Structure 1
Amino acid sequence: MLNAVTGVVVLAALLAYVNTRFVRLPMTIGIAGLALGLSLLLISLANFGAPQLRTAALSWADQFAFSQLVLQGMLSFLLFAGALDVNGDVLRRYAWQVAFLSILSTVASACVVGAAMYWILKWCGMPLSISYCMAFGALIAPTDAVAVIGALRRSKVPESVETAVAGEALFNDGVGIVLFSVFSSMASSGDTSSIADAATLFLREAGGGLVLGAATGAILFWMLRSIDRYKVEVMLTLAAVAGGYALADSLHVSGPIATVVAGIVVGNQGRQQAMSERTRESVDTFWELIDAILNAVLFALIGLEAVAIRAPSSLLPALAAVGLTLLARVLTVGVPVALLPRLLRLPAASAPLMVWGGLRGAISIALALSLPSGDARETIVMLTYAVVLFSVFAQGLSIERVAKRLSRAQEAAGRAATGE
């Protein structure tokens, strides 16, 4: 596995260079596009009588176990890096809005997509059990909006919108993974647990993650405040992420939620009260590099994974999955924001950005690949990959324009209010 991971890192670095030097797209999107082009080239060569390269690529992909690498290796570090930059004071002011988006909207979106895909797949002659369809809804509901936070900041969108997008992106991964574990267990075992049992499991994992994350953050805060050695303090943050995630897994609570909470504690109280200026600079630089490197590797993996995706006999289910995912986002996020701006304290004009900014990424693919082998898994992987590709290239390449449009609308509204 070490050789396979090394190969991915080397390839991601080379693709990053080619994108920076020649293509000049946003880094993660450019890397994903180049990796996808490489995958399509291998598939084309296989179709024209040279299958050896694709076979070698498939063997290589099997070695690094995409699902395990993402969920058990990279996810905790990415979430912690993102949580460090969240302003705790602003997050507290918009706590219930973030909770609404990351919990209620995610659960509702999963149910809408899962129930609708059940009937669509049945109509298309590709029936799946309701448990598998709900598992698909759960894995595709969480957004991966961390990649667009930079675009939002450059576009000077309202602070409330930026906080809502960032908070949702960080917390709904944990919510979606818990939901997915419930429905995938039902699908693989055939046991259709009651709603009460599923809700109990959800509350235990999510609540346990919050408690563990707060405890991890508090312990790390105390340790950081007791010394002033920036090298040791950077190592402590790294150990807290890896160790805390492993402990969450052994305790059967949500590792992603625990990691996010710990990151927010360290990024606010820890940065302000427990770190010297040199330590803050070292910690920030270290985690910025971790975030950039892992994102580059993740998006390279997204493109490379195309070699392992079975081509669908019909494009209709894939197109339906893309449309349903957007429709569910409109119903569960766009409509509430547009109709209840005062209650949610979010500008009504931000509804299109909130909808279009709901990107999906590697976590959804990793969850799909974690399902037991079989026809159901192949179908769900294909549907997931279609949604992620649309998200990365269609939404990812245009989100900054949508954000700038909102920013201009807010500036015009401000001038009108002041009579300028």
Structure 2
Amino acid sequence: MDYFVIITILVSIAAVFGYINVRILKFPNTIGLMLITLVFTLVVLALASIDKTLLLAERELITQIDFETVLLDMMLSFMLFAGALHTNFEQLKIQRWPVLVFATLGTLISTFLIGGLMFLVLMLLGLHIPFVYCLLYGALISPTDPIAVLGILKKVGAPKDLEAKIVGESLFNDGVGVVVFLTIYEVAKTTGNASIHVGEVLGLFGREVFGGVMLGLLLGYCTYRLMKSIDDYDIEVIITLAAVMSGTVIAQKLHLSGPLAMVTAGLVVGNDTVRGSAMSEITENYVDKFWELVDILLNTILFVLIGMEMLVLEFKWSYILAGVLAIPIALISRYVSLHGPISMFEKRLDFIPKTNKIMTWGGLRGGISIALALSLTTEMHRELFLVITYIIVVFSIIVQGLTVGGLVRKLMS
């Protein structure tokens, strides 16, 4: 099966799922797609007891996809650029220091907390997983999804400064989380079950983070200069597309963080100053609509892939129990990781009351965590961590996603 056929199938399924959500369910896209994907998975498994034709076809399709290449090297850059492009830059600028600390220190604390606690929980369940792989899991589940929560915050009328904190933190912790994940991933591949050397991790982390941000600033500036020198919305849209694609290739070749580069470039191109001086009104409209479409399409395809991948996993009871226990671990770890940074800045920037509770419950896990889990190797206990990640993402998007609006209203009243 060639890639054109695979893409055709995925886009077609994505279109059907999206139509069902808009026509019938009318949920926010992320929540609706997760529900439909979950139901779809259960239906296929139920039909397999009668006729395994559809299940076998799904499994054949899944085996043809190189998830690490498709998700980490391709889709992620587009999704993060699109998310950054539509972020309120002025509010983010005001909240830049707490956002920076949330995304760096908060992500690192969360990674080690989740990794350590999961190591103990899995040991109690009789699953003796090396600590390095538990740490790898901590890195992939720590990033939160800015797209999943943005629409909900806007709908409930959350304050702009709170929205900037949550969305800005989510954008940057995606980039930082991917860097932490890839750093530990490389160490895990080379050391196996050996201990991790902190200096080696920090060296790789520093190069990826700072190199990625600098590359993003350069890409954003070059894109701005090119767009400012012409007035043709078609070509300007293509320039933004070329910036993402070429930037991703350059980051891969130089071993820098592509996700952080794309977040930084998206913020530069999307800020009000660049928009006002480099884009006409029609160009701004076309650029925004194009990247909104790309983001929705890729997120929809990702949720389809999530459902299809679940069809080939083995759901052991110990895996399911580990996933259920991982839910409070992830929430507690996020609360603890945010407590310090919030305490540092809450008086200076006049944080609204209960910011930590809102950011903890509003920190939805989504496609990026699944994408990272899908890229694990068999030696890294891929099936175990995929099942755990799937359970957390389902809980996060459906339970937290449907209730975070009510929580914001209650805590703000």
- Which amino acid is the alignment partner of residue 121 of structure 2? I
Aligned with 1:323 (options 321, 325, 328): 328
Q: CA offsets, 1:32-69, max 9 Å, x none?
A: 211221111222233x2533321211111222334432
In the alignment, what sits opposite 2:17?
Answer: 15
- Which amino acid is the alignment partner of residue 37 of structure 2? A
Q: Which moved more, 1:315-324 or 1:327-336?
A: 327-336
Cα 1:221–1:304, aligned 2, differ >3 Å: closer, same or farther?
same
Q: CA offsets, 1:127-169, max 9 Å, x none?
A: 1001000000000011113221122123222222111111111
- For residues 301-380 of structure 1, the aligned pairs below 5 Å read 301-314=305-318, 315-333=320-338, 337=342, 341-343=346-348, 345-374=350-379, 376-380=381-385
CA contact (8 A) 2:106 2:341 kept: no
Residues in 2 aligned to 1:251 and 1:339: alpha-carbon distance in whole angstroms: 35
Aligned with 1:285 (options 289, 302, 307): 289
Residues in 2 aligned to 1:401 and 1:127: alpha-carbon distance in whole angstroms: 40
In the alignment, what sits opposite 1:415?
Answer: none
Q: CA offsets, 1:227-261, max 9 Å, x none?
A: 11111111000110111111111111111111111
Q: CA offsets, 1:53-94, max 9 Å, x none?
A: 212111112223344322222211121111112233322221
Deviation of the 1:109 alpha carbon = 0.5
Deviation of the 1:182 alpha carbon = 2.1
Deviation of the 1:338 alpha carbon = 7.0
1:35 aligns to 2:37 (yes or no): yes
Residues in 2 aligned to 1:82 and 1:316: alpha-carbon distance in whole angstroms: 34
CA contact (8 A) 1:45 1:51 kept: yes
- Which amino acid is the alignment partner of residue 297 of structure 1? I
CA contact (8 A) 2:136 2:184 kept: yes
Deviation of the 1:305 alpha carbon = 2.6
- Which amino acid is the alignment partner of residue 315 of structure 2? A
Which consecutive unaligned segments of at least 5 residues does structure 2 have? none
Deviation of the 1:336 alpha carbon = 5.3
Deviation of the 1:16 alpha carbon = 1.2
In the alignment, what sits opposite 1:145?
Answer: 146
Deviation of the 1:350 alpha carbon = 2.4
CA contact (8 A) 1:334 1:355 kept: no
1:198 aligns to 2:178 (yes or no): no
Residues in 2 aligned to 1:327 and 1:258: alpha-carbon distance in whole angstroms: 30
Which consecutive unaligned segments of at least 5 residues does structure 1 have? 410-420
Deviation of the 1:343 alpha carbon = 4.5
CA contact (8 A) 2:145 2:170 kept: yes
CA contact (8 A) 1:228 1:275 kept: yes
- Which amino acid is the alignment partner of residue 365 of structure 1? I
Cα 1:339–1:195, aligned 2, differ >3 Å: closer, same or farther?
closer
Residues in 2 aligned to 1:262 and 1:375: alpha-carbon distance in whole angstroms: 33
Residues in 1 aligned to 2:266 and 2:205: alpha-carbon distance in whole angstroms: 22
Deviation of the 1:199 alpha carbon = 0.8
Aligned with 2:280 (options 269, 276, 297): 276
In the alignment, what sits opposite 1:396?
Answer: 401
- Which amino acid is the alignment partner of residue 115 of structure 1? G
Cα 1:396–1:334, aligned 2, differ >3 Å: closer, same or farther?
farther
CA contact (8 A) 1:359 1:392 kept: yes
1:97 aligns to 2:102 (yes or no): no
Residues in 1 aligned to 2:50 and 2:229: alpha-carbon distance in whole angstroms: 65
Q: Over aligned residues, Cα RMSD in angstroms?
A: 1.9
In the alignment, what sits opposite 1:414?
Answer: none
Residues in 2 aligned to 1:303 and 1:198: alpha-carbon distance in whole angstroms: 33
- Which amino acid is the alignment partner of residue 409 of structure 2? K
CA contact (8 A) 2:132 2:196 kept: no
- For residues 100-179 of structure 1, the aligned pairs below 5 Å read 100-179=101-180
Q: CA offsets, 1:285-320, max 9 Å, x none?
A: 211222222222222322333212220232321111
Residues in 2 aligned to 1:207 and 1:339: alpha-carbon distance in whole angstroms: 24
Q: Which moved more, 1:395-404 or 1:123-132?
A: 395-404
SS of residue matched to 1:308:
coil
CA contact (8 A) 2:34 2:394 kept: no
Deviation of the 1:15 alpha carbon = 1.2
- For residues 7-86 of structure 1, the aligned pairs below 5 Å read 7-46=9-48, 48-86=49-87
Residues in 2 aligned to 1:396 and 1:177: alpha-carbon distance in whole angstroms: 23
Residues in 1 aligned to 2:134 and 2:327: alpha-carbon distance in whole angstroms: 14
Residues in 2 aligned to 1:344 and 1:355: alpha-carbon distance in whole angstroms: 19
Q: CA offsets, 1:90-114, max 9 Å, x none?
A: 2222111001111111110010000
Residues in 2 aligned to 1:49 and 1:374: alpha-carbon distance in whole angstroms: 34
- Which amino acid is the alignment partner of residue 86 of structure 1? T
Cα 1:87–1:27, aligned 2, differ >3 Å: closer, same or farther?
closer
- Which amino acid is the alignment partner of residue 297 of structure 2? I
Residues in 1 aligned to 2:356 and 2:378: alpha-carbon distance in whole angstroms: 39
Aligned with 1:257 (options 260, 271, 285): 260
In the alignment, what sits opposite 2:410?
Answer: 405
Deviation of the 1:193 alpha carbon = 4.0
Q: CA offsets, 1:317-346, max 9 Å, x none?
A: 111111110110121125754796214642
Counting matched residue pairs gives 407
SS of residue matched to 2:347:
helix
In the alignment, what sits opposite 1:3?
Answer: 5
Identity of aligned residues (%): 39
Residues in 2 aligned to 1:336 and 1:235: alpha-carbon distance in whole angstroms: 39
Residues in 1 aligned to 2:343 and 2:221: alpha-carbon distance in whole angstroms: 38
Q: Which TM-score applies when normalising by structure 1?
A: 0.92
